[in-house]
Amino acid sequence: MDQRLALRWVRDNIGAFGGDRDRVTLFGHSAGAAAVSAHLVSPASTGLFSRAGVISGTMANWGSHSAEAAERNYAHALASVNCTTLVCLLDVAEDDPARLQRAARWSWKGRTPCRDGCSFAPVIDGVEQLDWPLAVARRAASLTVSFGRVPLLHGTTLDDGYGFVKNDNFFNLTNAATPAQCDTYVRGAWGAALSANLTSLYPPSSYKPWPPRDSLCFVAAARMETDFAYACTARQASRLSAAPVYRYLFSMHTPDGADAEWVPHGHDLPFVFQIDTDPTQATAPARALARTMLGYWTRFAASGDPAGRWPRFDHGEQLLRLDANV
């Protein structure tokens, strides 16, 4: 709602700055991508922007929160600060806000994170959020929403899920995880009913250790998380949109560092905002890719079409691979 207020201000005032209220691009990464997705499927945001750019988070389930999950997190926050009422919680917020933040931030930790929404996300209430974003996208033609009516530029990195699998705020699976530890991850992340199916869909034996220090089951776990949280919903949203879609896969590796063989979440951002701001990545091929990406993004913002070599998605598997060869 606060973002929508800003969009309304832009609509009402951008003309005074020489801007065009009919050419507004809403653009975000990760949680910002989830926010853009929420506006794409929210009736009240319709007409406030004319194009959408989404980096790593298109229509993702973790970008919304069920009312039931929000209630569980609220109860957990109350208990964590020894409160039973909202008045008590507000007193804690005033007297010791850091204490409340610690209690609320990862209220699902130790349970299943971000499968029915993260601990802080828009709640599916039937008004602001009609349903899970992808569910709304499936029936967008019969609703007054922006999805399917505005051009969409979106994509993922090759290994978006990598850092979340090994992050101790999430699953804390190490690169050298054993099969037993990987099994614990699968069961914890997906539940016992799905674990056997997932193991067969992502058999560790089908992967190469990449890099050599990584266990095969860790690589499989990173692929599961990448597909669930990022790639699969981006693919489905591409197929559902009636408006022009331009989808990409960013696969430029980091030249050095501990994660050099991976292309993790957020690795494309310095390229969008120009690589020279990150000296560790400012190689000649990286600078060339950054210039190319800048051209794509600015042309899309100006016209709704990135042009160049980027093919429009036509409900097949078209995407532009952004790497040193572009």
Amino acid letter for position 87: V
Distance of CA 231 to the CA centre of its chain: 9
DSSP 55-76: ES-TT-GGGSB-HHHHHHHHHH
Q: What is the C-alpha to C-alpha distance for residues 176 and 194, in angstroms, rounded to an integer?
A: 23
Q: pLDDT band for 115, please (50, 70, 90 cuts).
A: low
Least confident of 18-22, 111-115, 192-196: 111-115
In percent, the amount of the chain with pLDDT more than 90 equals 56
Place of tokens 């000649």: 284
* Helices and strands (H, E) in the chain, number of each type: 13, 5
Instruction: Report which of residues 115 and 149 the model is more confident about.
Output: 149
pLDDT digits (tens, 9 = 90+) for 229-251: 999 999 999 999 999 999 999 99
pTM, rounded to two decimals:
0.89
pLDDT digits (tens, 9 = 90+) for 18-27: 999 999 999 9
Answer left, alpha or beta for residue 257, where phi above 0 means left and psi between -120 and 50 means alpha: left
The pLDDT of residue 110? 44
| Token code pair at residue 19 | 């801007």
Residues 154, 58 contacting (CB under 8 angstroms): yes
Residues 116, 68 contacting (CB under 8 angstroms): yes
C-alpha R_g of the chain: 21
pLDDT at 17 over 90: yes
Between the CA of residue 272 and those of 233, 277, 299, what are the distances in Å? 22, 11, 13
| Token code pair at residue 197 | 């199916």
Closest to 250 measured CA to CA, from 219, 282, 285, 293: 293
